[in-house]
Amino acid sequence: MTNGSDWVRAWTDLAAQTTHQHREELIELDRAIGDGDHGENLDRGFSEVKKAVDAKPDADPATLLKASAMALISKVGGASGPLLGTAYLRMAGKARPEMDGNDAAEVLAAGLEGIVARGKASPGEKTMVDAWTPAVEAARAQALSGGDFGAVLRAAADAAAKGAAATLDLVATKGRASYLGERSAGHLDPGAVSSSYILEAAAKAVA
């Protein structure tokens, strides 16, 4: 497998699988502090992403990520569609036909920039940014130390999982969960959790 289109295709397949597998869990997490549709939206959305990617058998990574972005924006409801769609669109701008560790870090950093630009969230506000920010920091550190494509994505995925777990004690100050105020503490943020699953899929796709 090359660290290009084949990786994006494998990532898409695994992301579709994991969002389907965790559908009910994400619904329950979102029901606690949101409107309960996060798992259903992502399951449907990444199913559409897979269709969009499968329909372009000869496309380069940038084209595949752009197609993914359009599917997410058009098919995923709530805030997650525009946020993840913008992330994928920004990632497309950094993707190259063959990528190394530095490229992997830059792709993820572009994704985070897209999420922040669209959602105006900062770390600590109990959103998907709390998974993406440590992921990007870990990816950049791993790339700086000479890590290859797979090592950078593995570092990012591990950091995202820790970041998602850390949202348990945070008080939401952005999005629908912010309406709960202090009562949002004690619940994991569904967007951060789903982001950790998506980034885990990205790392597993290298193998």
Q: Which domains does the chain have, with CATH numbers?
A: 5-204 (1.25.40.340)
Judged on CB neighbours under 10 Å (0-12, 13-18, 19+), 97 is exposed
Is the Cβ–Cβ distance between 51 and 103 less than 8 Å?
no
Close Cβ partners of 117 (under 8 Å, ≥ 6 residues apart):
86, 90
In which band, very low, low, confident or very high, does the pLDDT at 26 lie, cut at 50, 70 and 90? very high
Task: Compute the distance between CA of residue 151 and CA of residue 139 in angstroms, rounded to an integer.
Answer: 8
140-167 pLDDT tens trace? 999 999 999 999 999 999 999 999 999 9
pLDDT at res. 177: 60
163-186 pLDDT tens trace? 999 999 887 765 666 555 566 687
Q: Where are the alpha helices (DSSP H) in 34-128?
A: 38-54, 61-75, 80-94, 101-119
